[in-house]
């Protein structure tokens, strides 16, 4: 059964209380209408539930959450998926800054562009591998301090034709995980502690899995996505500063 | 053991601005609704608004909004104005009592023109020097009169600000009764400067007004630099320097807005190294000449003048800024939600790049005394005679006393 909430005159606290109450009462599918700037939607929620959000959710959408599948029918603001643990956030429009900050599991699929500092400090452990896919372009500091997980940057569906695929300081301090980029990035953009390579068969299989799901969720043409070559960016060593203090 | 967690939101300031390029007037309710959508970004320690086009009946006169703690301070200001200005109209700024706003200062407005003495009158009256005259007058009052401050001094515009949430301050100043072609608004979360009436945003000089989210950690450097040009910071808040820097760089030095913004948020040297000529030389020159005008630290600012609205981020975008367009209306805010609250289906929404200004000017010849700074002001030299009036006079008086 679909449980509907009208967020129009609700403060974000009331809205989140209603979401949690509905989930506690067994709701499996929530539809939230007239969302505009409501913060912390489904933050910290630990449950298997589908949430459809209509409007622009506020800061820290799905922060710390473990399980919910959120689909945003529109754009989202800064901090979506902050430190999320499990679940999925699908954004049909663009997203703001610091998407997927310190994300440690689950998936975030963005149809269009993202802002600055996206995927910073993502991490992984055993089978917990967070995945962040960006359909458009990214601002500066993409994957800064990244310690694990996968970022895929497609550059396909961008509102900024004049901007480069990704901004400056890409992967600064990165020491784990991988960033897959569709198309070529200039060498000047890659920090000396990172290496950029063509993808191998193993990468291709990983990407295939992710992109099939992404294309299905957001109506992308999978063939179109594969038309351009992918490159992977990885740290040369997982301890780039290991010798800095030891010798 | 119970742990007490105060119901406190840790946040950052909120900004919102709107302009109609054809000069169509926008009701106060619109900007109030937009900034109130970002209520959780502030903590009740400051809010404010700037409105352009609100005094058409006195469009040729500078409107001084004076904030005074005491009657005595107000009287002192009036005495200075009587000497230094022609006064065409004065009144109490209408306010309403608002629950939660206790013991506000007094607010008056004065519509004035500079009053030059003697031969200066013929040389300076009606020239761009009048702007310099007003800047010097504002600095003098803000520095010399204890407990009184001029919080806005432009033509056909005004700033309204105080301690409270944005809905309270709007109610207090009855902003629902004003209509403007440009509005900016601010919801404050003071971090390292006091939350007092003078420290609320916007900060203004002449028709420049600025609202800011962030911290200007170069405040000390900027402030000392500005003092060399006769600007004095008296409002105990970092943002104040930006208002004066805009006046110095754009109006007085005649830099086009893009270059002035580049001085405030310059590209990194490594970016400049990769640039082609002549861009590289221009950037190098701006960084070299205007080093002390650079704003260090995180910021998103909106500034406005009689003719335009500009949004600018620091060069690594440490504070949010979103822009949108719908027909002749342009919107800029900290959060997209604040725009959607007043414009549910914009034609375009975008996130400006770090350090790249979004400049929206009115169409040419839309309003009286319209200013355009896209290509810089045509270079005008005011007579050096004009520049001495206030200062010179004081010194002579002191000598006589001695």
pLDDT at B401: 46
Q: State what percent of residues in chain A have pLDDT above 90.
A: 90
- Structural domains of chain B, count: 1
Residue B310's CATH number: 3.60.20.10
Tokens encoding B30: 């619109």
Q: What rounded mean pLDDT belongs to chain B?
A: 92
What is the token pair recorded at A136?
A: 């458009």
- The answer to whether residue A43 scores a pLDDT higher than 50 is yes
Lowest mean pLDDT among B34-38, B333-337, B381-385: B381-385
Among A26-35, A136-145, B393-402, which stretch is predicted with the lowest mean pLDDT?
A: B393-402
Q: Is A168 on the interface with B (CB under 8 A)?
A: yes
Q: Would residue B4 count as lying in a domain?
A: no
For position B380, what pLDDT does the model report? 53
**Is B340–A39 a contact, with Cβ atoms under 8 angstroms apart?**
no
Q: What is the pLDDT at residue A187?
A: 77
Taking only the tens place, the pLDDT of each residue in A90-100 is 999 999 999 99
Share of chain B above pLDDT 90, in %: 84
Asked if A58 has any chain B CB less than 8 Å from its own CB, the reply is yes
Evaluate whether residue B92 is within a structural domain.
yes
pTM above 0.95? no
The mean per-residue pLDDT over the stretch B357-376 comes to 91
Burial level of B71, CB count in 10 A (0-12/13-18/19+)?
exposed
How large is the average pLDDT for residues A40-67?
97
Q: Is residue A170 scored above 80 in pLDDT?
A: yes
Which residue in A37, A140, A169 is closest to B335 by CB distance? A37
Interface A-B, measured as beta-carbon pairs within 8 A, has a size of 62
**What are the residue ranges spanned by the domains of chain A?**
93-235
A119 touching B, CB under 8 A? no
For A155-211, give the DSSP string. --S-S-TTS-SS-SSBTTT--EEEEEEES---GGGB-TTEEEEE--HHHHHHHHHHH
Buried b vs exposed e over A69-100: b needs ≥16 C-beta within 10 Å? bbbbebbbbbbbbbbbbbbbbbbbbbbbbbbb
Helices first, then strands: H and E counts in chain B = 12, 18
Residue B27 lies in a domain: yes
* Per-residue pLDDT at A29 exceeds 50: yes
A180 interfacial to chain B (CB closer than 8 Å): no
Query: Is A141 close to B316, i.e. CB distance below 8 A?
Result: yes
Both tokens of B142, joined, read 């803000």
> Which residues from A are below 8 Å from B335, CB to CB?
37, 58-59, 77-78
| Nearest Cα residue in chain B from A162 | B353
Question: What is the band of A237 on the pLDDT scale with cuts at 50, 70, 90?
Answer: confident
Angle at B335 between CA B330 and CA B339, to 5 degrees: 35
pLDDT at A243: 75
Structure confidence at residue B388 (pLDDT): 46
Pick A78's closest partner by Cβ from B316, B320, B353. B320
CB contacts of A78 in chain B (<8 Å) are 320, 335
Please, what's the largest Cα pairwise distance for chain B?
79
Residue B160's nearest CA partner among B147, B173, B171 is B173
Are the Cβ atoms of B354 and A163 closer than 8 angstroms?
no
Question: What's the rounded mean pLDDT across residues B44-51?
Answer: 96
Are the Cβ atoms of B351 and A163 closer than 8 angstroms?
no
Please report the pLDDT score of residue A245 as a whole number.
Answer: 74
Strands A29-36 and A2-6: parallel
Alpha-carbon distances of B384 from B125, B379, B388, rounded to whole Å: 14, 15, 7
Q: Which residue of A has its CA nearest to B267?
A: A168
Test B336 with A96 for CB contact under 8 angstroms: yes
pLDDT at position B235 is 92
- Could you say which of 3.10.20.30, 3.40.50.150, 1.10.760.10, 2.160.20.60 is the CATH number of the domain covering A93-235? 2.160.20.60
* Closest residue in chain A to residue B318, using alpha carbons only: A116
B190/B214 Cα distance (integer angstroms): 9
Range of the domain at B322: 14-396
Asked if A168 lies within 8 A of B340 by C-beta distance, the reply is no
Q: What is the torsion angle, in degrees rounded to the nearest 10, for the CA atoms of residue B378, residue B384, residue B389 and residue B391?
A: 100
Q: Is residue B402 part of a domain?
A: no
Under the banding of pLDDT at 50, 70 and 90, the label for residue B390 is very low
pLDDT digits (tens, 9 = 90+) for B215-264: 999 999 999 999 999 999 999 999 999 999 999 999 999 999 999 999 99
Which pLDDT value is given to residue B12?
83
Contact: B354, A75; criterion CB under 8 Å: no
Residue B220 lies in a domain: yes
Q: What is the pLDDT of residue B396?
A: 47
Q: CB–CB of A61/A77 below 8 Å?
A: yes
Q: What is the pLDDT of residue B167?
A: 97
Rg (CA), chain B: 21
pLDDT band of residue B392 (cuts 50, 70, 90) is very low
Q: In terms of pLDDT, which residue wins out, B301 or A247?
A: B301
Contacts of B350 in chain A (CB under 8 A): 159-160
- Report pLDDT digits (tens) over A191-233: 888 999 999 999 999 999 999 999 999 999 999 999 999 999 9
pLDDT recorded at residue B278: 92
| C-beta atoms of A77 and B335 within 8 A | yes
Any idea which residues of B carry the catalytic annotation?
13
Confirm or reject contact between A97 and chain B (CB < 8 A): yes
Most A CBs within 10 Å, among B336, B342, B343, B358, to test the A interface: B336
CB–CB contact A37 B37 (8 Å): yes
Q: How far apart are CA B252 and CA B293, in angstroms?
A: 14
Chain B residue closest to A93 (CA)?
A: B349
Q: Which of B40, B322, B341 sits opposite A36 (nearest CB)?
A: B341
pLDDT digits (tens, 9 = 90+) for B73-129: 999 999 999 999 999 999 999 999 999 998 999 999 999 999 998 888 888 888 889
């Amino acid at each position: 059964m679909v449980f509907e909430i009208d967020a129009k005159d609700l403060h974000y606290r009331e809205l989140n209380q209603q979401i949690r109450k509905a989930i506690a009462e067994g709701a499996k599918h929530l539809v939230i209408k007239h969302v505009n700037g409501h913060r912390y939607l489904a933050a910290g929620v630990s449950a298997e539930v589908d949430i459809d959000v209509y409007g622009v959710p506020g800061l820290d959408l799905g922060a710390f959450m473990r399980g919910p599948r959120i689909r945003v029918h529109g754009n989202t603001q800064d901090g979506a998926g902050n430190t999320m643990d499990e679940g999925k956030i699908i954004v049909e429009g663009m997203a703001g800054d610091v998407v997927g900050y310190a994300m440690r599991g689950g998936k975030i699929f963005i149809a269009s562009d993202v802002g600055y500092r996206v995927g910073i400090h993502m991490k992984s452990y055993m089978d917990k591998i967070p995945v962040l896919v960006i359909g458009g372009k990214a601002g500066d500091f993409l994957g800064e301090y990244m310690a694990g997980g996968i970022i895929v940057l497609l550059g396909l569906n961008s509102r900024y034709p004049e901007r480069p695929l990704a901004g400056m300081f890409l992967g600064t301090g990165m020491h784990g995980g991988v960033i897959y980029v569709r198309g070529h990035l200039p060498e000047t953009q890659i920090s000396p502690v990172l290496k950029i390579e063509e993808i191998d068969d193993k990468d291709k299989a990983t990407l295939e899995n992710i992109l099939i799901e992404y294309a299905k969720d957001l109506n992308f043409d999978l063939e179109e996505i594969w038309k351009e070559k992918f490159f992977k960016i990885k740290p040369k060593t997982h301890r780039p500063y290991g010798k800095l203090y030891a010798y | 053991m119970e742990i007490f967690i105060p119901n406190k939101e840790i946040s950052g300031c909120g900004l919102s601005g709107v302009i109609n390029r054809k000069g169509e007037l926008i009701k106060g309710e619109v900007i109030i609704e937009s900034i109130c959508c970002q209520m959780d970004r502030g903590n009740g320690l400051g809010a404010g608004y700037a409105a352009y086009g609100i005094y058409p009946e006195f469009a040729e006169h500078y409107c001084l909004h004076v904030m005074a703690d005491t009657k005595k301070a107000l009287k002192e200001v009036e005495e200075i104005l009587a000497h230094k200005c022609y006064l065409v109209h004065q009144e109490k700024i209408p306010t309403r009592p608002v629950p939660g706003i206790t013991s506000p200062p007094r607010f008056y407005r004065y519509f004035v023109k500079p009053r030059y003495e003697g031969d200066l009158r013929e040389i300076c009256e009606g020239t761009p020097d009048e702007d310099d005259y007003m800047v010097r007058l504002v600095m003098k009052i803000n520095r010399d009169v204890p407990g009184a401050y001029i919080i806005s001094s432009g033509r056909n515009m005004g700033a309204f600000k105080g301690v409270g949430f944005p809905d309270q301050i709007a109610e207090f100043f009855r902003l629902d009764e004003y209509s403007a072609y440009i509005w900016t608004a601010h919801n404050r979360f003071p971090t390292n400067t006091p939350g007092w009436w003078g420290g609320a945003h916007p900060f203004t000089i002449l028709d420049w007004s600025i609202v800011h989210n962030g911290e200007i950690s170069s405040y000390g450097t900027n402030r000392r630099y500005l003092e060399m040009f006769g600007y004095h910071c008296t409002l105990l808040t970092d943002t104040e320097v930006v208002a004066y820097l805009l006046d110095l760089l754009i109006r007085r030095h005649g830099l086009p807005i893009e270059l002035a913004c580049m001085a405030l948020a310059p590209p990194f040297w490594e970016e400049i190294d990769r640039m082609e000529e002549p861009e590289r030389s221009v950037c190098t020159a701006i960084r070299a000449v205007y080093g002390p005008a650079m704003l260090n630290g995180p910021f998103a600012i909106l500034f406005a003048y009689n003719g335009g609205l500009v949004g600018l981020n620091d060069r690594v975008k440490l504070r949010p800024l979103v822009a949108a367009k719908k027909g002749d209306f342009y919107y800029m805010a900290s959060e997209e939600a604040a725009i959607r609250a007043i414009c549910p289906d914009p034609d375009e929404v975008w996130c400006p790049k770090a350090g790249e200004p979004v400049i929206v000017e009115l169409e040419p010849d839309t309003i009286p005394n319209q200013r355009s700074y896209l290509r810089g002001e045509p270079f005008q030299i005011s007579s050096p005679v004009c520049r001495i009036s206030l200062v010179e006079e004081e010194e002579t008086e002191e000598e006589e006393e001695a």
